[in-house]
Amino acid sequence: MTTPTMELHLQQRLAERREQSLYRHRRELGSAQDARIQLNGRTMLQFCSNDYLGHAGHPKLIEAMQAAAKDFGVGGGASHLICGHSSLHHELEERLAEFTGRERALLFSTGYMANLGLIAGLMQRGDHLLEDRLNHASLLDGGLLSGAKMQRFQHSDTADLERRLKKLPHTGQRLIAVDAVYSMDGDLAPLAEMADLARGHNAWLMADDAHGFGVLGERGAGTAEMLGLDTQQLPVLMATLGKALGSFGAFVAGSATLIESLIQFARPYIYTTAMPPAVAAATLASLDLLQSEGWRRQRLAEHIDFFRAEAKRLGLPLMASQTAIQPLMVNDDALALALSRELEARGVLVSAIRPPTVPLGTARLRITLSAAHSREDIEKLLTTLESACWDVAPQLLEFHS
């Protein structure tokens, strides 16, 4: 038997993915992020963006970015440790540290790079890493890259986590790494209970708050603020800037010692060109909006409550989420794809999420709500969902007498 060429091998893999209803397609966006977008030449009412507060296309972010580009140009030019660390980067790090109640913060170009650099920078061979089974791929990949011995405990199961902590040998460092808000389920990690376990078993606790930062908490400072967790309880806090804040990049916040350690040991930080300074300027403008326009978080909360109440009335099978992420459980991959396509044909964009992004047998439509939506937009989503389900997947609806 001859070995297939690279081209043939890749064609076979692609064909398998198509047959399994797991093939992914890109769409061409022709407008700024908003409740309505131009997609492949059509106007679509969209419910799949992570722009939870409607900041991504806000005029103040655009103005700040344009003004900064005049002074700092477009590219970052070099890594932060060479000559790419601008005064705007520095100001943003100081603002983020103050806003999250931490000593210092460190910018990364993406959330994926932040998690890779963070875990691999802190953990080594001989150390012990415990991760939730539903953690984001970047957390899992960071664990694999670190060389530490990694265990994955049952989702948000503190009893399972405690059992595993008790069995660890008394050698090496210990890190518990979780999503604060799970991106595909929308539920929150039991961080307060995990903080108690970490303290009792001499472990560090890390939370990726990509989907909580900007949305949760009294001021929008995220899950840690909402739960009242300080640096001692949650020593490693990571969050992204491209979701609720509407810009780009990520940061890690914690003690001065933690941040200095990452500057020295986090390879994705050391060997990556700094984000454009103009992006940092836009993020600073977004932080100003976050602190002055609390009505956006209130409006989003009202949308979530209304959507869940109406979806329950219609019998739509939503998962138990109180955040802007509202997954509609379909289970079957082909059916999830068909329902997503039917919604798109009717002018409503909702992504079908299938394995390997979620576990086998848990395909769903990942509906995300935003302060940019109106009540009428939410009503349109609900009526379109109901009619599309009747036409494509009537088994999803509960029947009411």
Give catalytic residue positions: 183, 211, 243
SS3 of the chain: CCCCCHHHHHHHHHHHHHHCCCCCCCCCECCCCCCEEEECCEEEEECCCCCCCCCCCCHHHHHHHHHHHHHHCCCCCCEHHHHHCCHHHHHHHHHHHHHHCCCEEEEECCHHHHHHHHHHHHCCCCCEEEEECCCCHHHHHHHHHHCCEEEEECCCCHHHHHHHHHHCCCCCCEEEEEECECCCCCCECCHHHHHHHHHHCCCEEEEECCCCCCCCCCCCCCHHHHHCCCCCCCCEEEEECCCCCCCCCEEEEECHHHHHHHHHHCHHHHCCECCCHHHHHHHHHHHHHHHHCCHHHHHHHHHHHHHHHHHHHHCCCECCCCCCEEEEEEECHHHHHHHHHHHHHCCEECEEECCCCCCCCCEEEEEECCCCCCHHHHHHHHHHHHHHHHHHCHHHCCCCC
